[in-house]
Structure 1
Amino acid sequence: MTRILFAGGRVFDGTGSDPFDADVVVEDGRIAAIGTGLDADEVVDCAGTTLLPGLFDCHVHVTVSDISLIKLFQKPFSYQFYEAARNLRSTLELGITTVRDAGGADLGIKKAQADGLISGPRLEISIGIISQTGGHGDDWMPSGHCVPLTLPHPGRPSTVVDGPDEMRKAARELLRAGADVLKVCTTGGVLSPGDDPRHTQFTPAELDVLVAEAAMQGKAVMAHAQGTEGIKNAVRAGIRSIEHGIYLDDEAIELMLAHGTWLVPTLIAPIAVIRAARAGAALTDEMIRKAEDVAEVHASSIRRAVEAGVKIAMGTDSGVGPHGTNLEELPLMQAAGMSPGEVLAASTSSAAELLGFGESLGRLEPGFRADLVVVSGDAYDLAALPGRIREVWQDGVRVVAPGSQK
């Protein structure tokens, strides 16, 4: 296979160390060498650019494109799958070559990307969001109607459950359907009609069953967890990552440090809800109020977690906000106290470790899969990064070329 030399640029290797001058050689879809005086069959001129590992987004919803309640009623069922293809492409054009879908994408979407039918980041999928009756994933409205962001279908089982036995069955059905990770709501949330982000959902006994079922199949659990006690319940149960983490206190942070629990902040999510409401999205007054209430405390909690040394991985909740704007999360992470190098590491090597790709993706290192992003200028200028993505390579194949971004 052709040896490709990325020549004349700087390299951010994913570890958090500052970029350095070096060339990179790719062969057979892997990084073959990093250094100087290297040779190859084909040369990519990288003068004036920085090479990054392919980026990760650890919390997306690729089948969700609009949170307006009225629009949810108006789309034919299958429309979501065509939107997913578009959303994945928009995400790839940002240099994000791997995502974890936090509810919505089924095995068909994952396989379509893996088989090359659609262009986008590779996927880890959770398929459905496990919720108790009246919980964050229960889309029952006061009218008696349900307005779900994602409808159940044969590849996406229903996931509203109560009690350990129903929890066990839901876990097994999701794993049978191809879930790479199981997602559970241990607290209320912003976009659910009748609960409070601070309130706890599911008992420790129910969570213990879920974690045990996942572990027996070599899988992890991620938790939508915004309220303090629900975060603590998730950590004590052995859940691998806390998604959002809005109301962290000192004990929650100490528990996360003791258990090695990851935090995926999604700082952009409540901001996206507020923006959508201001743009005219049909949301309830309660949803808008909750988004406004949590935005400031969210940023404060993440800042304290960063200061304490909690492990952070990048995630956006895209779908709540527009796909293709994922990199807006990065300056918010920097504002929460992370250095630009730490933000990029959280978006590459740390995210890869969380998702189980730590030995093959997330770093520019010989033997690793050749996911590379060519960025014009200074990659540490995080606010300007979306407009500086020049090329994207996935497993040694150029999937986004100069000028091809929309």
Structure 2
Amino acid sequence: MRHRLLAVTVLSMLAVPTFAADAPAGTALHCGKLFDSRSGKLLGAHTVVVRNGKVAEVLAGRAEAVADATSIDLSDRTCMAGWTDLHVHLGQQSSAQSYSEGFRLDPVDFAFRSVGYAEKTLLAGFTSVRDLGGGISPHLRDAINQGQLKGPRIWAAGKSIATTGGHGDPSNGLNDQLAHLVGPPGPTEGVINSIEDARQAVRQRYKDGSDVIKITATGGVLSYAKSGDAPQFTVDEVKAVVDTAKDYGYRVAAHAHGEEGMYRAVAGGVTSIEHGSYMSDRVMALMKQKGTWYVPTISAGRFVAEKAKIDGYYPEIVRPKAARIGAMIQDTAAKAHRNGVRIAFGTDQGVGPHGDNAREFLYMVEAGIPAAKALQAATIHAAEVLGVDDQGVVEAGKRADIIAMPGDPLADIGNVMKVDFVMKDGAVYRTPVR
């Protein structure tokens, strides 16, 4: 509790007046092209008029005189709705020291780091994220919402929910002495072993201020445990989490690599499957039946597979999992797309480097997902996963989350790495250098 309060104190110490200047009476964005995330088509020149943090009008062509509006010339750029990354961890970033840092650093240190990670993410074009695990994220969310820090809009899960010895058990890897000092973690710490525990854990997340629930339905790649794919929840436990989450208006995301645990999570009613490495035809059929979303996180898979080749980067209990499972995810994404599973965008950044999130688009296209569908996955489809209808499209009445880049991302998906204009809620955070 002391460390958690220190982390909150750090974020409050960083409080300063709102970074983005107060928006003028209006802003007129003169876009050379506009990506329509509903149709997945690239439209010609449009003028997007923004007032009071929302899109007021979307006018075909270049509207030269917009009353009470400051013009921004993006006529040589493609505009679109700001992207959403549905799977990040802003409180951390992988390095060869990650496992030892948990013993040496305090939450305060990770809180300071999260500030830079959040800004990098926003400036890369991601105006919203779903942070799926970490005690810092609810406080980082609040600081950003209060205008104290630059960063994306955050849906925060807080501490993920696991089972004893599971992917999210915070006592994994501790020696007997440390384990004795810490004591067996329970629902408050996000570790459950019964239906009653499951209900209590969700209610604790509500008390902690979470926006979404994450469960670790199978083993994980980077946790200090042997299995990366064993099922770790019963269907009844998943249902207890999902049903209790509904009481608070929460949706449930399920980390899952193994086939059986994945099937149980889908059967239990989760909103999305994250990673999905060993996704089978049986699982895909059930996902299509129940409308479950798939968030592949190809970026994380490729990152861990590459780092597994480096001696000492991961503990030896982790290294074979990273090499085996990480390399599978891109192929699984390709298979899921071919089979008609609904796909939304997520990277698991925090495993890989923050600010590099857009590289996921490249990997999705490599997997055979059309560029337009990849962009829809990070805009209108991501909004569907979150359960909101006020973002993900550039339309009158929606949030003025708008980004722009040189070039045509449908013709060359590599252009997503060149975002140089970012607006969130009508405030401009990045403009092209002319």
TM-score under structure 1 length normalisation: 0.92
Say whether 1:14 aligns with 2:37. Answer: yes
Deviates more, 1:318-327 or 1:26-35: 26-35
In the aligned structure 1, how far is the partner of 2:144 from the partner of 2:177?
34
Is residue 2:73 matched to residue 1:45? yes
Say which SS state the counterpart of residue 320 (structure 1) adopts. Answer: coil
Residue 258 of structure 1 deviates from its aligned partner by 0.4
Q: Look up the equivalent residue of 2:133 and give its one-letter code.
A: G
Could you tell me how far 1:36 is from its partner in structure 2?
2.8
Q: Is the 8 A contact 1:168 1:213 kept in 2?
A: yes
What are structure 1's unaligned runs of at least 5 residues?
none
Structure 1 residues 235 and 145: alpha-carbon distance in aligned structure 2, compared to 1, 3 A threshold: farther
Alignment of 1:311-330 (within 5 A): 311-330=342-361
- 1:209-288 equivalences under 5 Å are 209-277=240-308, 282-288=313-319
Q: Deviations over 1:51-104 (max 9, x none)?
A: 010000000000012352123333233111111111100100111000000001
Q: Is the 8 A contact 2:305 2:326 kept in 1?
A: no
Residue 93 of structure 1 corresponds to which residue in structure 2?
A: 123
Amino acid at match of 2:108: S
Q: Report the residue type matching 2:424 in the other structure.
A: Q
Q: Does 1:124 align with 2:148?
A: no
Task: Work out whether residues 133 and 156 of structure 2, in 8 Å CA contact, stay in contact via their aligned partners in 1.
Answer: yes
SS of 1:9's equivalent in the other structure is: strand
**Number of the residue aligned with 2:372:** 341
Give the drift of 1:268: 1.1
Q: CA deviation at 1:279?
A: 6.0
Are the equivalent residues in 2 in contact too, given 1:127–1:174 (CA < 8 A)? yes
Asked if the contact 2:276/2:332 (under 8 Å) is kept, the reply is yes
Shift of 1:211: 0.8
| 1:273 Cα offset (Å) | 2.0
Alignment of 1:368 onto 2:398: yes
Change (3 A) 1:164 1:373: same
Structure 1 SS opposite 2:253: strand
1:78 and 2:103 correspond? no
Rounded to whole Å, the distance in 1 between the matches of 2:295 and 2:86 is: 7
Map 1:109-188 to 2 at 5 A.
109-139=140-170, 140-141=172-173, 143-144=175-176, 157-188=188-219
- SS at the partner of 1:326? coil
Mean Cα displacement is larger for which, 25-34 or 293-302?
293-302
Counterparts of 2:43 and 2:94 in 1: how far apart (Å)?
A: 41
Unaligned 5+ runs, structure 2: 1-23
Q: Structure 1 residues 233 and 146, CA, compared in 2 at 3 Å: closer, same or farther?
A: farther
Q: CA deviation at 1:247?
A: 0.6
SS in 2 for 1:47: strand
Deviation per residue, 1:328-348 (Å, 9 max, x gap): 111111122211110000011
Shift of 1:10: 0.3
Equivalent residue letter for 1:53: A
Deviations 1:124-156 (A, max 9, x none): 011011111111112411644779xxx99xxx9
> 1:63·1:83 contact (CA, 8 Å) conserved in 2?
yes
Shift in Å, 1:199: 1.0
> 1:299 is aligned with what amino acid?
Q
Distance apart, 1:324 and its partner CA: 1.0
CA contact (8 A) 2:218 2:258 kept: yes
Deviation at 1:23, TM superposition (A): 2.0
Aligned to 1:31: 55
SS at match of 1:19: strand
Q: Mark the CA change 1:73 to 1:403 in structure 2 (over 3 Å): closer, same or farther.
A: farther
Deviant stretches of 4+, over 6 Å: none
**Cα distance in structure 2, aligned partners of 1:180 and 1:399:** 25
Name the CA shift for 1:99/1:287 in 2 (closer, same or farther; >3 Å): same
Identical-residue share of aligned pairs (%): 33
In 2, are the aligned partners of 1:269 and 1:320 still within 8 Å (CA)? yes
Q: Residue 54 of structure 1 is aligned with which of 82, 95, 99? A: 82
Once the two structures are superposed, residues 162-221 of structure 1 have per-residue CA deviations (whole angstroms, 9 ceiling, x without a partner) of: 111211111110111111111101111101122422211111121111111101112111
User: What SS does structure 1 have at the residue aligned with 2:29?
Assistant: strand
Given that residues 31 and 369 in structure 1 are in contact (C-alpha distance below 8 angstroms), is that contact kept between their aligned partners in structure 2?
yes
